[in-house]
Amino acid sequence: MIGLPFFIWLLFTLVDFGNTDQLFAFLSVIGLTIIFMKLNSTRTLQIVLIDIVCFLLLAAPIVRRLTLVPIEKFNYLAFIIPMVIFVLLYSMSIYFSIKQYLQIQKVAVLRKG
């Protein structure tokens, strides 16, 4: 479930009917679609909340796998490094979105006053 294999897993799981993983693949695809639709939007509170929800949607299949399979199966760098990079970079993205939103709010208050 890393890099390119994860995208392949998403595509094949979407058409694997009757599988419970299909729901989680569908949630991730919805998250990716929303991210690409809102990519260059001005950071409002709604967009920041959508970013957080998208993070949860993208993390859902990974969390599902981590809960189904013994954790020892994931103790290798080819899984750990991409997962940590994903979590760190997406968390930083959310942090900067919140920072940008607060800066926009501060400028709006200064213009009114």
pLDDT tens track for 34-73: 888 888 788 889 989 999 999 998 888 888 888 888 888 8
- pLDDT over 60 at 98, yes or no: yes
Q: Into how many domains does the chain fold? A: 1
Domain that holds residue 97: 3-112
Residue 87: strand, helix, or coil: helix
Phi and psi, residue 18, nearest 5°? 90, 0
**pTM summary value:** 0.77
Residue 50 has a CB neighbour count (10 Å cut-off) of 18
CB 60 within 8 A of CB 24: yes
CB 33 within 8 A of CB 54: no
